[in-house]
Amino acid sequence: MPADYEDPLGPEPDAEYPTVDAARYRSVLGHFATGVTVITAIDPDGDEPVGLAANSFTSVSLDPPLVAFCAAYSSSTWPRIERARKFCVNILGESQEELCRVMATKGADKFGGVGWTASINGSPVLDGALAWVDCTIDAEHDAGDHVIVVGRVHDLGLEEEGRPLLFFRGGYGRFDA
């Protein structure tokens, strides 16, 4: 951040705003179509693979190379990724909807029958993913009921030719162009 950076929004305004309805928030924000990723790591406690589906993934900075995603504090997988201090972002292909559903299910046997290889960091690169981005945790920023996780990219690659799995208005879709 430049030393002379000033937040253009200024300090928190005093004005009172109406409460944002949760259902309306979900509905409106659900109109932002995204890809879908699975964030994976090896939990150092037990040395086992862990993962969670995330569509909040975004690229952040090229120099240095940074990416980010948001993890819910309610997630039981996030603390295990946090313990690992490193993770791999797997960008899902259109045939991986079922895998995504499993990775979004609390308490599921998420890696039963899932093939993967280890990244240079040791994090799981899932078979069939379109692309992957291997990171260490660079920073965490508290953001309401989520934490914004910034990852420092150390390695990345393309695994498959193919089209992405998309998420829009609460449902899965395909890229048709």
Footprint of ligand FMN (CB under 6 A): 36, 52-56, 69-72, 75-77, 103-104, 106, 167
Minimum Å gap between C-beta 24 and ligand FMN is: 19
Beta strands 171-174 and 165-168 are antiparallel
Minimum Å gap between C-beta 5 and ligand FMN is: 27
Minimum Å gap between C-beta 172 and ligand FMN is: 8
Residue closer to ligand FMN (CB basis): 116 or 167: 167
Who's near 165: CB < 8 A, 6+ residues apart?
A: 35, 36, 92, 93, 94, 95, 96, 97, 100, 172, 174
Residue closer to ligand FMN (CB basis): 96 or 119: 96
With H, G, I as helix, E, B as strand and everything else as coil, classify residue 33. coil
Residue closer to ligand FMN (CB basis): 27 or 76: 76
Minimum Å gap between C-beta 78 and ligand FMN is: 6
Residue closer to ligand FMN (CB basis): 14 or 98: 98
Return the ∠ at Cα 131 (arms to 125 and 133), rounded to 5°: 65
Torsion of CA 74, 78, 79, 84, to 10 degrees: 180
